[in-house]
Amino acid sequence: MIKPDIVMELEPLFRPQSVAVIGATNNRAKWGYSTFFSLQNNYPGKLYPVNRQDDTILGCQAFPKVTDIPGPVDLVVVVVPPENVAKVMEDCVAKGVKAGVIISAGFAEIGEKGKTMQDEVIKIAKQGDIRLVGPNCMGMWSAAGNLPAFMFPMRIMPGPLALISQGGNIGGALVADAVARGIGFQQYVSCGCTADIQIEDYVEYLGYDDSVKVIMLYIEGLGESNRFVEKVKAVTAKKPVIAMKPGRTEAAIRAISSHSGTLSGSNLVYDSVFRKTGVIRTYTTTEMLDVAIGFLTQPLPKGKNVIITTPGGSYGVMCAEACALQGLNVIDLPEDAMETFNSMFPERWSHGNPVDPAGDRDFAQYLKAPEVLLDCPEVDAIIFMGFGSFSGLSSVFASGIDSNRAKQFEKLIKDFEGFARNAISVIDSGDLPGIRELIKSGLSYGYGLMASSTTSDLEGFFDMLAEALTSDKMMKSNFIRNLRNFFESMAQGSFNDAVGQQIIELIEPIIGALIDHWIQKYNKPVITTTFTETLSRISEEGHFPYPNAKRASNVLAKLVEYSEYL
Amino acid sequence: MIKPDIVMELEPLFRPQSVAVIGATNNRAKWGYSTFFSLQNNYPGKLYPVNRQDDTILGCQAFPKVTDIPGPVDLVVVVVPPENVAKVMEDCVAKGVKAGVIISAGFAEIGEKGKTMQDEVIKIAKQGDIRLVGPNCMGMWSAAGNLPAFMFPMRIMPGPLALISQGGNIGGALVADAVARGIGFQQYVSCGCTADIQIEDYVEYLGYDDSVKVIMLYIEGLGESNRFVEKVKAVTAKKPVIAMKPGRTEAAIRAISSHSGTLSGSNLVYDSVFRKTGVIRTYTTTEMLDVAIGFLTQPLPKGKNVIITTPGGSYGVMCAEACALQGLNVIDLPEDAMETFNSMFPERWSHGNPVDPAGDRDFAQYLKAPEVLLDCPEVDAIIFMGFGSFSGLSSVFASGIDSNRAKQFEKLIKDFEGFARNAISVIDSGDLPGIRELIKSGLSYGYGLMASSTTSDLEGFFDMLAEALTSDKMMKSNFIRNLRNFFESMAQGSFNDAVGQQIIELIEPIIGALIDHWIQKYNKPVITTTFTETLSRISEEGHFPYPNAKRASNVLAKLVEYSEYL
């Protein structure tokens, strides 16, 4: 495979051996201070502060000019007033610098005068084949280089996403939110006025980085849309590209011109460009991250037929509405499934899609429903609602076993003490079939405590669940450790609040493992929702529950859109 | 003022002196267990379990029938199979019960057979003037009665909201999310099939409860829309009513029929009903809570002219777009304001609306901008972006003063030790002018450490800020206590990580107090955004920052809509 030039050209940007910060300063009131500080505390390569006055910057030997630095300099980060950037660039050419990040602002975004200065900088840089990020940007991050070349320290971590953003603040928000959701980046570039390296150049480069699984773009204005189409199309064939592009209103178009100094262009043109290139368009940072995580955690659906399972009717109503508004098919329940559910659920169940057991207390039946549906060839995906409500239900149960009520459970505790002690030794033995058997009998036991029905017809279900809970992924996760902790509390022979909490913490990975098992087995999306706004995190096992039907159905619709494009 | 009958009729529901749970049980696998448990742990009045077999339920003396209870019974909560409810109701009539909550399901929602049973129950109840919630509901909460009559324990707290919901799960999600945002309810009723008391009856009642500030409705289908219009119109003249009404798609209409058993009705009819009655329509639980909190914390705007202030250009672009899409006027900057900002901000500032200082390090200037704008008569409201980013900026500063770098700050620490010791004694003296002076000099001092400009032109600003920070509200909040903790750490003469965290915790109430001050002074909405998805909570001082421009502008648009209706 012959890689295009851009792959080589951007290597010094993403994997520099040495970096100079031009405009580094000891003055805390300047960006040159926080920029140098950000790199100093993280970047492992050679780092040089450049400052015309001071001998040392934050304890490091400083140099008056980049040409005074003894060793080679791959990358410069520039934080000097805009009128000095051209001179700095001349020095960089003389020094043989390979790439630059121009944080300095006051270029194209302020009008003609700034645009002239910007053109001059680019002209000089071209003489030395220096590729430039910015100007008027917030900086960049590369996981491969452990390089947080930002204008201030930002919390970021390595991961499968890449983000190219014409807005530093939107980019920063996306990074912060992704980190809060438990997911990181291979590259993040705030590209500002995007004077030299174009968005499609970054995308082309990212197409060749196998550690990047999903590419996100915040675009204010493109240079040449034909070039974008040509280069990005080659990438969307390999991995999803998601874009956010404001500019549907006059108010935003005006704001764009004074912000990144780019021409917003017609919204219709962008819609057509994105459709042609298979770029998935989103409208908020939350939506962009939702869709990115959907691509990371779900298989692509074969069609748009969806069935909803819900532990609550009104959730089902909201989800059916959201799916239909997204253009998904809320299909009729296949007849076989209808018959199966007639024998599983109380008479009052919904008898349709959404599948709602209508307050059935036998929760195991609800957890059996998805496989019945995934097994139907006409079902392309399911939305499984109430991921978090199982924690809710377990807290109801837990609230019944707090210390005040312990005496009601005296016999239970006595029975369970021996079980718990044995469980600990089984876990410690590391014997996989033994642990699987233990989990199975633990599930039957726990279920028996809560359920009105017998467990005899659930044998197969518990087998499957025990297998899902002892997959490689689960054995490497914290689940087994948390399970052991739970048994340790139980072995002490007393129910208390901690036990309640421990039960709640065990429920989520159990549901997560089940969902993972279904996805693997049927290769169909199983999107889940929690019902509360509390921020979801991607689990150790790789599952992400969405907070509501609207967001879940939107993600499914985008998976369908990309799948149809391919 | 003559109150309608409904006010008297619903008193026994919301303030019962005694409650019987019919179908209470010791069987943990039944809803009758968790229902009784929920009440037993909270309701302070007389509580009786009714169970045909057992002598005691969860330790309380049980009665075979409601007529066997010695004292009067105001309210019954019914959790027996649907076919037994009519018989139970006959006993209730005999006993002289005044109101009932029918949790039992299997009525109108399952079709003809259920509808017949439901009609029978209502007919019997009417003979004894018993008013009924449900059937097929999750229960209800009344703060005045401290009455969590739910089918399972739910975290809820008293507050200014009221919620009437034809979906128990949607209602539960709204309650959980509201509690997580720090806000509670006077009443929450899950009204299920809504067979007797209609949604407009509840609304009429809530109109007369002065502790209810905002009414929220989740509607699947109304009985008579004319009756709704007539009764609700009288209430929207007094306080805002916000509704969610799915049923724009066939998929949802079908789901509604099998859920609450109501007729969804035409979406266009609902739009017209809501417009006629001044009910604000929303589409998700998140939006409903956003708008409710907007009504609780902001004054109504006089028009739709908005100016955006943003510390980041791309946020400004997104916000201008969101406002314009919401039908708000993103007006041109008044000329006076333009001139003022020309002298306040660096040359590269945005020169328009959104007002963006474009990376100005002098944050105090950004905090001065809103008053310049609020003072302009053509400005109806502002959206102030970056509420949370000030915490972000302070963490940048804090990251510069961690223990590793303490020696750079040696002189600073020495200087500040004396100041901090004196500050503690001023705070302990409780002398208001002294505390105000202290805060003012503390602000100048802290600002001087970070800022490049001098503080001389900020005298007035710091005066105002010190006054805002010593308002009655702030003096009663934790702010002063946290400030004292900060000075205690400083008086120990060492910068450490705790100090960084303490600074961050002081920033939010400072911005919150400023915003409160502006709102009071100008009586115009000042809506803020944080930029991160992390769940916002309403602050002790009563401020709620929204996570993004879309949600903030939507709330402002709804305030405009209600204000135009009035």
What secondary structure does DSSP assign to A254-319, as a single string? HHHHHHT------HHHHHHHHHHHTPEEESSHHHHHHHHHHHHHSPPPSSSEEEEE-SSHHHHHHH
Rounded to whole angstroms, how far apart are CA atoms A194 and A132?
Answer: 8
Q: What is the DSSP letter of B193?
A: T
Indicate if the pLDDT at residue A401 is higher than 50: no
Q: Please tell me which residue of chain B has the smallest CA distance to A176.
A: B532
Amino acid at A59: G
Lowest mean pLDDT among A394-398, A423-427, A449-453, A491-495: A394-398
Residues of chain A with CATH 3.40.50.720: 1-138
Chain B environment of A327 (Cβ under 8 Å): none
What residues in A contact B312, CB-CB < 8 Å?
A: 167-170, 172
Q: What is the pLDDT of residue A394?
A: 54
Q: How much is the pLDDT for B83?
A: 96
Residues of A in contact with B249 (CB under 8 A): 320-321, 324-325
Residues of chain A with CATH 3.40.50.261: 155-297, 305-390+520-565
Q: What's the CA gap between B92 and B323, in Å, rounded? A: 55
Range of lowest pLDDT (A138-147, A495-504, B163-172, B510-519): A495-504
Residue that wins the pLDDT comparison between A498 and A69: A69
Q: Would an 8 Å CB–CB cutoff place B378 in contact with chain A?
A: no
For chain B positions 29-48, those within 8 Å of chain A (CB to CB) are 29-31, 33-34, 37
Per-residue pLDDT tens over the stretch A240-251: 999 999 999 999
Residues of A in contact with B544 (CB under 8 A): none
> pLDDT-based confidence at A408, cuts 50/70/90?
low
- For the domain made up of A155-297, give the CATH fold: Rossmann fold (3.40.50)
C-beta pairs of A55-61 under 8 Å, 24+ apart in sequence? A57/A24, A57/A25, A57/A26, A58/A24, A58/A26, A58/A33
The two tokens of residue B461 are 């600003």
Q: Could you give the CA distance from residue B312 to residue B314 in angstroms, rounded to a whole number? A: 6
Q: Residues A330-364: pLDDT tens digits?
A: 999 999 999 999 998 988 899 999 999 887 767 77
Q: How many beta carbons lie within 10 A of that of residue A479, not counting itself?
A: 25
Q: Residue A387's Cα: distance from chain center in Å? A: 18
What pLDDT score does A273 carry? 93
Whether residue B370 contacts residue B518, with contact meaning beta carbons closer than 8 Å, is answered with yes
Do the beta carbons of residue A253 and residue A278 sit within 8 Å?
A: no
* A317 touches B at CB < 8 Å: yes
Q: Is A287 on the interface with B (CB under 8 A)?
A: no
Q: Distance (Å, rounded) from C-alpha B283 to C-alpha B269?
A: 16
State the amino acid at position A220 in one-letter form.
E
Please report, as a single letter, which amino acid is at residue B21: V
Interface contact A105-B176, CB threshold 8 A: no
Question: Quick check: B249 and A534 CB within 8 A?
Answer: no
Full strand arrangement of the beta sheet holding A99-102: A46-50, A18-22, A75-78, A99-102, A131-133
Distance from CA of B334 to the nearest CA of A (A): 16
| Residue pairs between chains A and B whose CB atoms are closer than 8 Å | 258
pLDDT, tens digit (0-9, with 9 covering 90-100), for B317-342: 999 999 999 999 999 999 999 999 99
Q: How confident is the model at residue B235 (pLDDT cuts 50, 70, 90)?
A: very high
Q: Mean per-residue pLDDT for A532-560? A: 91
Cβ distance A313 to B354 less than 8 Å, yes or no, reads no
Strand partners, A75: A19, A99
Task: Name, in order, each residue with C-beta under 8 angstroms of A527's C-beta and a sequence gap of 6 or more.
Answer: A294, A298, A381, A382, A383, A384, A546, A552, A553, A555, A556
pLDDT digits (tens, 9 = 90+) for B408-465: 556 666 777 888 899 999 999 989 999 999 998 888 877 776 655 555 677 888 888 8
Q: What does the pLDDT average to over B75-85?
A: 97
Residue A394 CA to residue A504 CA, distance in Å, equals 6
The two three-digit tokens of residue A396, written as one number: 């109801």
Question: What CATH superfamily is the domain B5-297?
Answer: Succinyl-CoA synthetase domains (3.40.50.261)
Closest residue, chain B, to A307 (C-alpha): B251
Query: What is the model's pLDDT at position A407?
Result: 56
CA distance B44 to B65: 22
Chain A residues with CB-CB distance to B393 below 8 A: 152
- Of B176, B389, B450, which has the smallest distance from its Cβ to A532's Cβ? B176
Q: What percent of chain A has pLDDT over 90?
A: 65
Fold of B305-390+520-565: Rossmann fold (3.40.50)
What is Dmax (Cα atoms) for chain A? 84
Suggest the residue from B179, B533, B535, B537 to mutate for an interface test with chain A (most A CBs closer than 10 A): B533
Q: Check: CB of residue B74 under 8 Å from CB of residue B98.
A: yes
Give pLDDT tens digits for B468-516: 999 988 888 889 988 998 888 888 766 666 776 777 778 888 888 889 9
Nearest CB to A220; choose among B311, B317, B347: B317
Residue A8 at interface with chain B, using a CB cutoff of 8 Å: no
Question: Closest Cα partner for B99 from B72, B127, B132, B70?
Answer: B132
| Residues 6+ away with beta carbon under 8 Å from A341 | A333, A349, A351, A355, A369, A372
Q: How far is residue A36's CA from residue A34's CA, in Å, rounded to a whole number?
A: 6
**Contacting residues of A for B247, CB less than 8 Å apart:** 321
Contact B214, B9 (CB under 8 A): no
CB contact under 8 A, A255 and B177: no
Nearest to B323 by CA among B348, B310, B303, B306: B306
CB A108, CB A114: distance < 8 Å: yes
What is the CATH architecture assignment of A1-138? 3-Layer(aba) Sandwich (3.40)
CB A313, CB A358: distance < 8 Å: yes
Rounded to whole angstroms, the Cα distance separating B337 from A393 reads 56
Distance from CA of B388 to the nearest CA of A (A): 11
Q: Measure the CA–CA gap between A397 and A446, rounded to whole angstroms.
A: 11
Positive or negative, the Cα torsion across B551, B557, B561, B562? positive
Model-level pTM? 0.93
Cite the residue boundaries of each domain of chain B with CATH code 3.40.50.261: 5-297, 305-390+520-565
Q: Please write the tens of the pLDDT for every residue from A420-433.
A: 899 999 999 989 99
B413–chain A Cβ distance below 8 A for any pair: no
Res. A496: pLDDT tops 90: no
Nearest residue, CB atoms, B320 vs list A176, A252, A449: A252
Instruction: For residues A189-213, give the mean pLDDT.
Output: 97
List, as one string, the DSSP characters of B277-296: HTPEEESSHHHHHHHHHHHH
Residue B180's nearest CA partner among B34, B289, B296, B39 is B289
Residues of B in contact with A397 (CB under 8 A): 28
Please judge whether A314 and B247 are an interchain contact, meaning their C-beta atoms are less than 8 angstroms apart. no
DSSP A35-69: HHHHHHTT--SEEEEE-SS-SEETTEEPBSSGGG-
Q: How far is CA B213 from each of CA B161, B206, B241, B286, rounded to the nearest angstrom?
A: 6, 9, 9, 18
The one-character DSSP state at A102 is E
